[in-house]
Chain A
């Protein structure tokens, strides 16, 4: 407890006790809001949640560890394919499939982590891209497992808890996804504020200093990559469970780049940033890209440039001005 207090003393204001409760309340509120705003398009919302998990997963390595990666969709895609195959093999319990996805993601995350976090800078970036492209090329080749460019289809998960079947309106899928997101988000909040999470941030800020105080940098980063893999894997599993189809797009370079854009838009280094960024980006995309995909690309590009120039800490920093003020008022209370 004293550790936590000391860290709070030097770092920007951080909510202490009701943090997890607040996260539960906010995700629930967002879930209800989504349902009221898009009652006829729950498929879009479940897809949004699945991608949000990928962005959260990316935040763990990019935002909290400072690893610049453009190959994170490998984790998401591999897990989606593994879950799809597990379901086709007859293991159709959704919770079991989530577990399968988490394990597959963790394995893929650890493998990526071992390769990618070994170096800094350009070699790191190139290794992350190479791992992503390697996995994507494999997915294309192993068409007996992945369906190749046709995609893997016919995934039909069973009932949740043996009771709630996945209906064609996607209601079960939506509630299931919101619940998963809520649990993951709360657990992640605990992890990033744990000594392990704080050490990762210390490594990000100054890896030499972290090494000097005795932290074993490489194993920590690989471990965080594994945690990130679990989260990304759950995202991929949700994708497979909800849509019933896994395509090559869920593993490619564009997916990785897009996730990075969402993360930076919201604000890397904050779970709230990842959440806000992926929601804002995807809702925006839902309306604009339907109109014209190529204007969409121009707009994303311009948006990225604008974020880098004017809000380098993302949307959450704009909201953070307000939140920071209320938090400091609350902290002053006895």
Chain B
């Protein structure tokens, strides 16, 4: 029984870390630009596709870098043409419709160009084997994902808490107009944050491809999950996103281990309970 618990815990942790890496970009965007970006999953999907493409000619680390940069390059025109219109001002309905429209277009185009099949992202030999933990064999990839998640959280914390960029970002989150009048170019800040968010989504899409397989409907299938993580964690909060990812990863994994026939029932039950008890997220702030 204890071993089962530990197994569930380890799986939940790695799944939660994937959720965290992808969702944190969305969370930062929502905290700063107040944009409910339903196309965030589509950007993670683009990252996965680009990586599977790049892996035919390049090594795994290089493929990750190429996928992240490529996704940012693809997403940037969208930021320039569409997202800029909805930063901080539109009502949710407009944002939902615009971003779900973008997600639909990306799904349709991906399906047209790449076909409906799942694209494999082969792991390097170092990560594809199992690792013996004494009581259980665990895929090395899970450990790698967990380390990626911890590093992402740490680096983001450094970026936001310790750098000039982070100070400006927090200023703009707290009071955009005041930050603007103090000479912070919020438009540039928004664009940089958008690129960061999209890059994180692509990174998560690549390293998490073993757990969330890359196929055209990825964008919709997991979008809801990412949105839920942000809402449960509280928009813009890194510790909140970590807590929410692990909590929801645990709810989902436990449900699937103990009552697989219920599908995502327990996951959404947990979501309803948490959102009802903490409408601003576990560690979110009141706007």
Contacts and interface: CB of A to CB of B under 8 A. Distances in A.
B128 interface: no
Contacts of A307: 97
Contacts of A264: 93, 97
B228 interface: yes
Contacts of B263: 137, 140-141
B107 interface: yes
Interface stretch (A29-37, A45-53, A120-128, A152-160): A120-128
A308 B94 CA distance: 7
Interface in A253-273: 253-254, 257, 260-261, 264, 268
Contacts of A303: 101
B92 interface: yes
B231 A141 contact: no
29 contacts: A62-B93, A68-B92, A122-B36, A123-B231, A123-B275, A126-B232, A126-B271, A127-B275, A130-B272, A133-B224, A140-B263, A141-B261, A141-B262, A141-B265, A260-B96, A264-B97, A294-B116, A295-B112, A297-B105, A298-B109, A301-B104, A301-B108, A305-B98, A305-B105, A308-B94, A308-B97, A308-B98, A308-B101, A309-B98
Contact of B36 (A125, A261, A309): A125
A70 interface: yes
A82 to B, nearest CB: 19
Given A131-B268, A307-B97, 5 more contacts: A126-B227, A126-B232, A294-B108, A297-B104, A304-B101
A294 B220 CA distance: 14
Contacts of B92: 68, 121-122, 125
Given A133-B264, A137-B262, A298-B105, A122 B98 contact: no
A223 interface: no
A309 B90 CA distance: 12
Contacts of B265: 134, 137-138, 141
Contacts of B262: 137, 141
Contacts of B112: 294-295, 298
B280 interface: yes
B93 A268 contact: yes
Nearest to A302: B105
A244 interface: no
A253 B220 contact: yes
Interface string B240-265: 00000000000000000000011111
A209 interface: no
Nearest to A304: B101
Interface of B: 30, 36, 82, 85, 91-94, 96-98, 100-109, 111-112, 116, 216, 220, 224, 227-228, 230-232, 235, 261-265, 268-269, 271-272, 275-276, 279-280
Given A123-B275, A137-B268, A305 B102 contact: yes
A129 B220 CA distance: 12
Given A140-B263, A307-B97, A126 B228 contact: yes
B102 to A, nearest CB: 7
Interface residues of A, number: 45
A294 to B, nearest CB: 4
Given A123-B280, A125-B227, A130-B275, A68 B96 contact: yes
B148 to A, nearest CB: 26
Contacts of B232: 126
Nearest to A257: B100
A95 to B, nearest CB: 34
A300 B104 contact: yes
A118 interface: yes
Contacts of B107: 294, 297-298, 301
Contacts of A308: 94, 97-98, 101
Nearest to A134: B268
B111 A130 contact: no
A118 to B, nearest CB: 7
Contacts of B235: 122
Contacts of B224: 129, 133, 253
Nearest to B287: A121
Nearest to A299: B108
B276 A115 contact: yes
Q: Could you say which of A118, A257, A260, A295 has the most chain B C-beta atoms within 10 Å of its C-beta?
A: A257
B233 to A, nearest CB: 11
A252 to B, nearest CB: 11
A309 B85 CA distance: 9
Given A253-B224, A297-B108, A301-B101, A130 B96 contact: no
A304 B97 contact: yes
Nearest to B98: A308
Residue from B36, B107, B230, B231 having most chain A Cβ neighbours under 10 A: B231
Given A141-B263, A305-B82, A123 B279 contact: yes
A126 B275 contact: yes
A312 B271 CA distance: 32
Those 8 A-B pairs whose CB atoms lie nearest each other, nearest first: A301-B104, A298-B108, A304-B101, A301-B105, A297-B108, A126-B231, A305-B101, A137-B265
